Amino acid sequence: MKIFVQSRGRSPDFEYCWQPEVPPQLSNISSSIQSESPSVVLARFQGRLILLTTGLESPEKRDFRDRPIRHSVCWICSDNDYDEKEIRAIAVLALRGLLSVQVDKYVNLGGENGFEASFPELKSLSDSFLNEIESQRLPEEEYSKRIGKNSQALRHDLAYKLQQYSLPKGYELIVVSTGIKSEESLEKIGAWRSLSNLVKSENWRDVSKSEAQPPNFFVAAIAIVAAIVVVALILLVVLLHPFSPKPEVTPSPSQGMIRNEPEVEVNPEQVDQNSSIRDSTSLEKGLQSLEKDSIPSVK
């Protein structure tokens, strides 16, 4: 088991820092809490169990502005049955508010960075409590994600479950208990159990997948309905106005042989003149016929 401690010295020259170094995977879990307030995060990453406790106020130690010094401790161990029991025991102490005084005993002012931590004693914090940690199988009805108000009652209820049951499988973030974190943020985090001061529910509330992701469901439903409406409109238009293609006209051979003669422009004066000539000719022929009829025939 590896242990990492964050604290500070009394002087303004000694700000908050981690010893012996910044713990790995810290960025993956610190974003899920308000680190200034008393918080607990229990997680599983890459075959390791990680327990982070923050905001553990010292009852006596103060900084240069007479503010309580806050300690943070991170425990990292293998994901096996024995180490899990140790991690669960420390988490139970933290949720019951018993860890601050214990940690403060082993983090003292002084040294190169303003404080010194006694790592062997911090590792043995769970020894006196291990015999009370059970490893029963978690009931099926307790496996779902739940969130609730960060109240003493729910913290103690969660501590009892960690004391009695093995950690649920299939979760990276298992426990998140913090100060200021919205319900929406906790739902997105998706831990097995989440507590925050901003949650209104005094009891545990189940967070199902459909509740955690309502926008995606409604967007998909709207898209499906819109697609159905578009298809229905297209079918309606086709039924009311069926498309009948115009038949292709193939010219007959006789039609193909017809030549279009050019139009001849007719002169009106010429038409009148021709008509007069035809009329005078007819008149002459009529007179000649009368003359023949008036002459007696010679026998």
Could you report the per-residue pLDDT of 197-251, keeping only the tens digit for each? 999 999 999 997 544 444 444 456 667 878 887 777 787 777 776 655 555 555 5
SS3 264: coil
pLDDT value, residue 192: 98
Query: 78-127, pLDDT tens digit by residue?
Result: 999 999 999 999 999 999 999 999 999 999 999 999 999 999 999 999 99
**Mean pLDDT calculated for residue range 159-174:** 97
| CA–CA separation, 86 and 90 (whole Å) | 6
Query: Would strands 39-45 and 173-177 be described as parallel, antiparallel, or unpaired?
Result: antiparallel
pLDDT of res. 294: 44
**Directed axis angle between helix 81-95 and helix 152-164, to 10°?**
160
- H helix or E strand, kind and range, residue 290: helix 268-294
Phi, psi (degrees; rounded to nearest 5) at 109: -75, 150
Q: Tell me what pLDDT residue 216 has.
A: 47
Reported confidence tier of residue 285, pLDDT bands at 50, 70, 90:
low
Between residues 143 and 284, the one the model is more confident about: 143
Residue 152 pLDDT greater than 60, yes or no? yes
C-alpha distances in angstroms, 54 versus 77, 95, 152?
Answer: 18, 12, 17
- What separation in angstroms does the CA of 218 have from each of 31, 157, 214, 286? 29, 35, 6, 105
**Which pLDDT does position 242 carry in this prediction?**
60
Which residues, at least 6 apart from 101, have a Cβ–Cβ distance to it below 8 Å? 59
Residue 114 and residue 14 in contact, taking contact as beta carbons nearer than 8 Å: yes
pTM over the 0.75 mark:
no
Tokens of 33: 């809490």
Q: Which residues of 16-28 are buried (b: 16+ CB within 10 A; e: fewer)?
A: beebeeebeebee
Residue 296 has pLDDT above 60, yes or no: no
Contact 84, 166 (CB under 8 A): yes
Mean pLDDT of 181-193: 95
The residue among 224 and 12 whose pLDDT is bigger is 12
The pLDDT, as a whole number, for residue 221 is 61
Q: What is the pLDDT of residue 247?
A: 52
Please give the Cα distance from 92 to 237 (Å, whole number): 68
